[in-house]
Amino acid sequence: MSDKGKYKIKQLSIFSENRPNRLGAVAKVLKDGKINILGFSIAEGAGYGVIRVLVDKPETARDLLTKEGFVVKFTEVLAIQMEDRPGGLFDLTDQMKDINIEYGYGYRNPPFAVLIVRVEDIDSGIDKLLAGGLKLLDNVNFH
């Protein structure tokens, strides 16, 4: 794995019809497979949803979900540590002005917060974030 590879996190993108209890169905598959959900977000469009999930065993999760009929693909994302205080997100994004963020979501992990982002060019994004002094979390934090 290249040095940059340690910052690339495998996120599951699960495509699902926009109907009741689809999140519950995904959660049950992961529960039955003893897979821990570390973070997730849900997006919707044109009658379908995308459930983006970070888990401790991404390959196993993909296999189990696919077996249950879900369409799943891997997406590489980055996890950026930010201060858990008012203005923490602004200070972080102020240092990311020339990076195109396709989407993102965050969560608290005291004593800090984490911003998960998909960027247009992941290798360039890693270089720019590190050069700007930002702390990227290693992918081992997500297994």
User: Would the CATH topology of 7-75 be identical to that of 77-141?
Assistant: yes
Task: Please state, in angstroms and rounded to a whole number, the distance separating the CA atoms of residues 99 and 119.
Answer: 7
**Fold adopted by 7-75:** VC0802-like (3.30.2130)
Task: Please state, in angstroms and rounded to a whole number, the distance separating the CA atoms of residues 11 and 142.
Answer: 10
Task: Please state, in angstroms and rounded to a whole number, the distance separating the CA atoms of residues 3 and 92.
Answer: 22
Residues of the chain above pLDDT 90, percent: 79
What are the extents of the domains in the chain?
A: 7-75, 77-141
Q: What is the pLDDT of residues 72-90, one digit of tens each?
A: 999 999 999 999 999 999 9
> What pLDDT shows up at residue 47?
75
> What pLDDT shows up at residue 2?
64
Evaluate whether 137 touches 107 at the Cβ level (below 8 Å).
Answer: no
CATH homologous superfamily for the domain 77-141: VC0802-like (3.30.2130.10)
